Amino acid sequence: MALHPDRLLPAEPGVRAIARELYGAVRDLPVISPHGHVDPRSLLDDEPFPDPATLLVTPDHYVTRLLHASGVPLEALGVAQPAPTEAQSRAIWRRMCTHWDVFRGTPVRSWFEHELVEIFGIERRPSAASADAIYDELTARLAEPGFRPRALFERFRIAVLATTDDPCDDLAAHAALAADPTWSGRVIPTFRPDRYLEVGSAGWPERMTRLAEVSDIATDDYPGFVAAMEARRRYFISRGATSADHSHEDVRTDPLEGAEAGRIYRAALVGEATAAEAVALRRHLLLEMARMSCEDGLVMTLHPAVRRGHHGPTTERFGADVGADIPIRVEFTDALRPLLERYGTHPGFHLVVFTLDETVWSRELAPLAGFYPSLYVGAPWWFLDAPEAIRRFRRAVTETIGFSRTSGFIDDTRAFCSIPARHDMSRRLDAGWVAELVAQHVFDLDEAAEVMTDLVSGRPTEVFKL
Amino acid sequence: MALHPDRLLPAEPGVRAIARELYGAVRDLPVISPHGHVDPRSLLDDEPFPDPATLLVTPDHYVTRLLHASGVPLEALGVAQPAPTEAQSRAIWRRMCTHWDVFRGTPVRSWFEHELVEIFGIERRPSAASADAIYDELTARLAEPGFRPRALFERFRIAVLATTDDPCDDLAAHAALAADPTWSGRVIPTFRPDRYLEVGSAGWPERMTRLAEVSDIATDDYPGFVAAMEARRRYFISRGATSADHSHEDVRTDPLEGAEAGRIYRAALVGEATAAEAVALRRHLLLEMARMSCEDGLVMTLHPAVRRGHHGPTTERFGADVGADIPIRVEFTDALRPLLERYGTHPGFHLVVFTLDETVWSRELAPLAGFYPSLYVGAPWWFLDAPEAIRRFRRAVTETIGFSRTSGFIDDTRAFCSIPARHDMSRRLDAGWVAELVAQHVFDLDEAAEVMTDLVSGRPTEVFKL
Amino acid sequence: MALHPDRLLPAEPGVRAIARELYGAVRDLPVISPHGHVDPRSLLDDEPFPDPATLLVTPDHYVTRLLHASGVPLEALGVAQPAPTEAQSRAIWRRMCTHWDVFRGTPVRSWFEHELVEIFGIERRPSAASADAIYDELTARLAEPGFRPRALFERFRIAVLATTDDPCDDLAAHAALAADPTWSGRVIPTFRPDRYLEVGSAGWPERMTRLAEVSDIATDDYPGFVAAMEARRRYFISRGATSADHSHEDVRTDPLEGAEAGRIYRAALVGEATAAEAVALRRHLLLEMARMSCEDGLVMTLHPAVRRGHHGPTTERFGADVGADIPIRVEFTDALRPLLERYGTHPGFHLVVFTLDETVWSRELAPLAGFYPSLYVGAPWWFLDAPEAIRRFRRAVTETIGFSRTSGFIDDTRAFCSIPARHDMSRRLDAGWVAELVAQHVFDLDEAAEVMTDLVSGRPTEVFKL
């Protein structure tokens, strides 16, 4: 198992030569990660990572989902189980290696290879036969100081790492890291209020109580809730946050008239809001979040339209984020219109829109971002963070908005060790696309080099206000 | 007219060389055809095929539709007409040849060329000028023993051929073929109950009467209907069937509560079910079919979302399947949820989902098949059984589910002589796609060879339980 | 800045060589422009074009939209402002040049380069530094006789140019041009009745009054309206029109029963039709327009599904067509069914359907055009008139309908100087696609040459009845 230096670059030799040059110029630039799910405590504590299964298999739903589809039960991968014994971890690892062939052609395989070869120096291709030897090699590496979180953070050349955090989180880990004189990395929180806007969701009244506690603002009426949310956003900003992330079933932003928001809010507090009212209030609140972003400057990002926990029995038994989330169709043109009519030209407001429904790239998102100064098209995400999907993305949006109205790459990962692999893949694919344009004489090589640097450094820095 | 050995392989010489090697390794593997519309009686009787028009033009709606769009009336192609005289057949053939240019760029043209050159040894390109000479050549060939159905079946290297059959069919032809000591081919039926689930369709009460007769189970109430359907499925299984095929407007699978299914069933028997009730019962019954598949093992396949007989006047005059069927949008994530929550992890249950709406490949089907062990993404079908669509399919699904969660190729054809051409095209295109991945160093050549054999032999054998 | 002779041709050298040959054979064929928005008065008057900003920036919403998204206010581009002074024009031009990089990868950039280099002989790449010098060069050129509208019309080799006109327009400019003995170009009007079918739109009753005046037919009841519209169509036909263009939110064509159309019509005249009634009447009227086309022979074209003036404040301040129009999803299979059941096989009826929602190309439009002799799939339009989108279009529709059921290129532009660039781009891309098919041995080179000529000359001439 080896990583070919030209992997994922276009096959045609002329285009590949251009792509190789463009990629080479950005390959070693620092990683900017404005949206992800790494736990900041791992960097604060800097303890050695646990066993190979717990590091690389169990928590990564990209990995567990396809193994599950291939007949491996989630519990046999350690999902929602106590920390594995050495024998259990080895068995989990062996199950993954035994099914190595099911990952052929997927980015999970490419990322995994990158991690094993580049980070851990593994040279054997995973298989039932090689599983134990690789396990032993990994275990040995993980015990070395150079494989602790902080050492890897530095080795990965991470310039900024954004985490995703609950509005009531005290962000203690972020503060401690920032205060640590032995640490110079930039790890910033992201305000993620989904569960506070879904007023019909289980536990929502309790969350309001907690919100009142941490904000010291009464949340027994709607103005109090708004004030408390604004306060928490300010708190996040004071701890380095630059963006707020939102993921709901849709992105409608219809305002509620006059006292209606307050009425539904109070009904929800006592569990008496109807499902339709809860949705109406959430849509209104999404609009409110945009207003707050105009005022406090937090970049607003949208990741909508996923049916979470599609398989009820799995959710009940194993919880969320185990691979059973399935995208649905989404609509932006009409849904975002109330928001964009109000704030789409607001100076300094940044709205970054992601999608798992590719049909909106050329039909809705690029046209929107090609008019509204505040709207940026987010990079391909989740299922679409993959070579062919990234190519489709660039082909779908570039002709309407060029490069400047796109967000730059986000890795959105909870798999810390996959960060370099994911960013490297993105750089290779963007280099390939830009090289194709150069080969077709759409623009010149000097411009192409500018585009590449802008995509890797300029876009995320500017769009996410880093 | 000649068939280039490299046709449909990627143009770039390096990739083409890899593709040529991969294709070469599977080119001569037996044909597995788990879903199609060939009449088993033609193989039982083994009579010479009729005239060229009746064999190659009139019954093939892929051919007649585009000729119709080009201004040739369906009756002038023999559709829904008595068997043609020699002069009529020759005239039909000439009309097709005269319009040969309208097929440029379509797979119909590629298949047709393959048939004419490979099977019949024709070397002239069809045109008004060459039509008669080709007609004479074809007529001469069809009179030869080597061009009878059984000889061609063998020459085509067909390992398994599945037909599509009405639940009340006695499957006599299948039984006779199986009992024929001079015949060793495998021809299996497929259970296709659409018209039995559409309780509002014309003739449905009469079908229930017939169902009662052939099953010897009273169908005057809902439990009887269910029992009769189960009995017919067992009958089909006893005759070799391994799958049940379903094609409705949508694939919703919402269960009806308690006595509701029975109530609608009885209303439908006397023609008093509303249109909405008929749809509700069909959706419930689709869920029931999945339950039966869990119990009896028949693979469940779905081919939804076509507006059949879009042009009423044509349907009235020429009947169904003449080229006037038009796809519509379809949704799977929510529609299949009730089914998948119940049966999506049932051991041994296989659900294969086909679509004419490409937007669901990356958004819904691949994510579903990447979690649920029972769900496989069906190969591109009908309008999408074409080179670029097949490429889009692989590009859309491979990154989420690799190769193992796809169904393998189905030809879905009633044009017996097009079977080798269709499978050959599929093999060339898969070889091209896999070669691209090798050329980009996504995986190695030894793995690519495994993938190819799996796609051609492993997938259909396993997925369709052959 | 130079135009590479192989720009936009496929990168692979073998395919490029074929494409170059195919493109070369059609490069210099006359331009047929059956749908666009050029003002015929500019050709009648043949006055020199105004300053560079007013010619090339201010009125072109392809240009202004992306500059607006990049932070340049529309008023700073001269939109909805009085004619600029020389200093203002120079400043607008400089703003465009300063933001030249935002157009990288867009067709706007390619067209602009083509115009500057080919028409005006500019060799400097636009930038803040070069803006003034280019401005001066352009100003000098525009003063020369060879850069007046008629000279350019001839230089552009325009064989036919269709304008877009209000049904009440007297078409005086068309008549004067046709009567001018010093002018031999063909400039024909297009009947565009949108605002007359949207009975709920502002000013509709007044339009009915005006319609009565110009047609000399009373429009105070529905039959009168129909007769007046028929009369205006005849008038347009007498002035050379061959088509009628329609752009509404959807393309439903449900007929209204009996007196219902008349009832709604009368209610609308006094401002008492509900929004739903207005939509119902518009859908009915779209069906009526098809009936008229069957009778009078005007080609019917549909350009649906754009949310016009998405940003209310911009529309209020700057009016329509300034870059704030955003596409929405569209459906054709069911929507057009009433129309196609009635007129889809009517001899001589031509219906050309355009879309900004790419998902319908393979799913709906190609299947429809592959059966109905009257329906043609329109070329990629507006946001989709771009290299990758055009490639996707050909890949999506060719396999179902070949080339003969497509419309040929339309430029749809109000930017007169971009016409050669747009047609040249289309020819290059079609040559590239056809070359790919030849390189894959889908058809032969002699057939490919026929296809190219047909696409550039045959299709638009036949489909638009020119």
To the nearest whole Å, the CA of A345 is away from the closest chain B CA by 31
Please compute Rg for chain A using Cα positions.
Answer: 23
Residue A313 in contact with residue B340, Cβ under 8 Å?
A: no
CB contact under 8 A, C402 and B102: yes
Instruction: Return the closest-CA partner of residue C68 out of C416, C323, C382, C385.
Output: C323
C71, C104, C359 ranked by CB distance to A451: nearest: C104
In one-letter notation, the amino acid at residue B76 is: A
Nearest CA in chain C to A445: C104
Q: What is the pLDDT of residue A359?
A: 98
C-alpha span between C350 and C18 (Å, rounded): 33
For residue C258, what pLDDT band results from cuts at 50, 70 and 90?
A: confident
The packing angle between helices B419-439 and B107-114, to 10°, is 120
Mean pLDDT (whole number) for C123-138: 98
Nearest CA in chain A to B365: A326
C-alpha span between C369 and C401 (Å, rounded): 7
For residue B328, what pLDDT band results from cuts at 50, 70 and 90?
A: very high
C101, C312, C386 ranked by CB distance to A341: nearest: C312
In one-letter notation, the amino acid at residue A336 is: L
Instruction: List beta partners, residue A301.
Output: A245, A352
Length of chain C: 466
Q: What residues of chain A lie within 8 A of the CB of C384, using their CB?
A: 362
Nearest CA in chain A to B368: A326
Flag whether pLDDT at C95 surpasses 90. yes
What DSSP state is assigned to residue A432? H
Q: What is the pLDDT of residue B427?
A: 98
| Dihedral sign, Cα of residue C295, residue C264, residue C302, residue C162 | positive
Nearest CA in chain C to A370: C66
Sequence ranges of the domains in chain A = 49-147, 155-463
Please compute Rg for chain B using Cα positions.
Answer: 23
C-alpha span between A376 and C102 (Å, rounded): 13
Q: What is the pLDDT of residue C94?
A: 98
To the nearest whole Å, the CA of A200 is away from the closest chain B CA by 20
Interface test with B, best of A388, A422, A436 (most B CBs within 10 A): A388
C-alpha span between C113 and C224 (Å, rounded): 51
Q: What is the pLDDT of residue B1?
A: 87
Q: What is the pLDDT of residue A258?
A: 87
C307, C310, C383 ranked by CB distance to A400: nearest: C383
Q: What residues of chain B lie within 8 A of the CB of A387, using their CB?
A: 399, 440, 442
* A146-175 residue pLDDT tens: 999 999 999 999 999 999 999 999 999 999
To the nearest whole Å, the CA of C123 is away from the closest chain A CA by 14
CB contact under 8 A, A68 and B373: yes
CB contact under 8 A, C345 and B71: no
Q: What is the pLDDT of residue C456?
A: 98
Residue B40 in contact with residue B174, Cβ under 8 Å?
A: yes
CB contact under 8 A, C69 and A405: yes
Q: Determine the distance from the C-alpha atom of residue B277 to the mean position of all C-alpha atoms in its chain, rounded to a whole number.
A: 29
Flag whether pLDDT at B250 surpasses 90. yes
Residue B332 in contact with residue A291, Cβ under 8 Å?
A: no
Q: What residues of chain A lie within 8 A of the CB of B437, using their CB?
A: 105
The tokens describing B302, both together, are 């779905």
CB contact under 8 A, A398 and C105: yes
Strands A243-246 and A299-302: parallel
pTM of the model: 0.98
What share of chain B has pLDDT > 90, as a percent?
100
CB contact under 8 A, A403 and C358: no
A11, A314, A388 ranked by CB distance to B15: nearest: A11
To the nearest whole Å, the CA of A252 is away from the closest chain C CA by 15
Which homologous superfamily does the CATH classification assign to the domain defined by A155-463? Metal-dependent hydrolases (3.20.20.140)
What share of chain C has pLDDT > 70, as a percent?
100
Mean pLDDT (whole number) for B47-71: 97
A340, A362, A399 ranked by CB distance to C107: nearest: A399
DSSP A30-41: PEEE-S----HH
CB contact under 8 A, B364 and A8: no
Q: What is the CATH number of domain C49-147?
A: 1.10.2020.10
To the nearest whole Å, the CA of C332 is away from the closest chain B CA by 9
Q: What is the mean pLDDT of chain C?
A: 98
Nearest CA in chain C to A368: C326
Nearest CA in chain C to A367: C326
Q: What residues of chain B lie within 8 A of the CB of A103, using their CB?
A: 402
Flag whether pLDDT at B258 surpasses 90. no
Which class for B444: exposed (0-12), middle (13-18), buried (19 or more C-beta within 10 A)? Answer: middle
Residue B402 in contact with residue B376, Cβ under 8 Å?
A: no
* B387-410 residue pLDDT tens: 999 999 999 999 999 999 999 999
To the nearest whole Å, the CA of B69 is away from the closest chain A CA by 29
C12, C337, C447 ranked by CB distance to B104: nearest: C447
Q: What is the pLDDT of residue B304?
A: 98
Q: What is the pLDDT of residue C310?
A: 98
Q: Comparing A49-147 with A155-463, is the CATH topology the same?
A: no
* C197-241 residue pLDDT tens: 999 999 999 999 999 999 999 999 999 999 999 999 999 999 999
A442 Cβ partners below 8 Å, 6+ apart?
Answer: C7, C8, C104, C105, C109, C110, C387
Other CB atoms within 10 Å distance of the CB of residue C275: 8
Q: Tens place of pLDDT for every residue, chain A, 466 residues?
A: 899 999 999 999 999 999 999 999 999 999 999 999 999 999 999 999 999 999 999 999 999 999 999 999 999 999 999 999 999 999 999 999 999 999 999 999 999 999 999 999 999 999 999 999 999 999 999 999 999 999 999 999 999 999 999 999 999 999 999 999 999 999 999 999 999 999 999 999 999 999 999 999 999 999 999 999 999 999 999 999 999 999 999 999 999 998 999 999 999 999 999 999 999 999 999 999 999 999 999 999 999 999 999 999 999 999 999 999 999 999 999 999 999 999 999 999 999 999 999 999 999 999 999 999 999 999 999 999 999 999 999 999 999 999 999 999 999 999 999 999 999 999 999 999 999 999 999 999 999 999 999 999 999 999 999 9
3-state secondary structure of B200: coil
Q: What residues of chain A lie within 8 A of the CB of C388, using their CB?
A: 395-396, 398-399
* B137-167 residue pLDDT tens: 999 999 999 999 999 999 999 999 999 999 9
* B223-240 residue pLDDT tens: 999 999 999 999 999 999
To the nearest whole Å, the CA of B462 is away from the closest chain C CA by 30
B65, B326, B389 ranked by CB distance to C364: nearest: B326
CB contact under 8 A, B327 and C364: yes
A82 Cβ partners below 8 Å, 6+ apart?
Answer: none
To the nearest whole Å, the CA of B369 is away from the closest chain A CA by 7
The packing angle between helices A260-269 and A275-296, to 10°, is 120
